[in-house]
Amino acid sequence: MSEVKPYKITIEWSGQEDFFFSCDYAHSEVKKNWHNPHSETRTFPLMAQAMGNVLRKLRKEHISFPLFLVALAFNHRNLLDEIDQLLHLLHLHLEKELAPGTFACHISSSKQEPYSNPG
C-alpha cells in the first residue's frame, strides 16, 4: 500500500448539480498544496443531485452536515454505492502513487463519455 495519505478534500460546484471533487495527498509528514493534472469523469447522478441539494441547503441555512448525509443515504439507496465507487477510484489511484499529488474527478448528474487524463 502506498505511503501517501489524503489530507484535503475540495468540492467545487461547476453547474446546477455537477461538481468537481479533488483530494490532495502527500506523505504523512508533508502537507503541501501540490497540483497534479490526473483527472477522471464519472456519472454519479444521485450523488450529483444530493450534492446539489447540499449546495442549495448550505446557501439557505446552517445544517449539520453528517446528519444531512445520513438522511440523504436513507432517501437515496444507491447514493452509498456511488460514494463507495468514488472512494474506490480514490484508493486505486493512491495505491499507484509514491509522491504527493492530487486525485480529481468531475461528478456529473448526466451520462457522459468517460474522460481520463493519464498524465
pTM of this structure: 0.60
Q: What is the mean pLDDT of residues 23-40?
A: 66
Q: Which residue has the higher pLDDT, 111 or 30?
A: 111
**Section 18-32 average pLDDT:** 77
Q: Where are the alpha helices (DSSP H) in 1-119?
A: 45-60, 65-75, 79-96
Q: What is the DSSP letter of 77?
A: T
> Which H or E run contains 104?
strand 101-108
Rg of the chain, C-alpha, whole Å:
15
pLDDT beyond 50 at 102: yes
Q: Which set of grid coordinates corresponds to residue 14?
A: 461547476
pLDDT band per the 50, 70, 90 thresholds, residue 119:
very low
Put the strands of the sheet holding 4-13 in their side by side order: 4-13, 19-27, 101-108, 39-43, 116-117
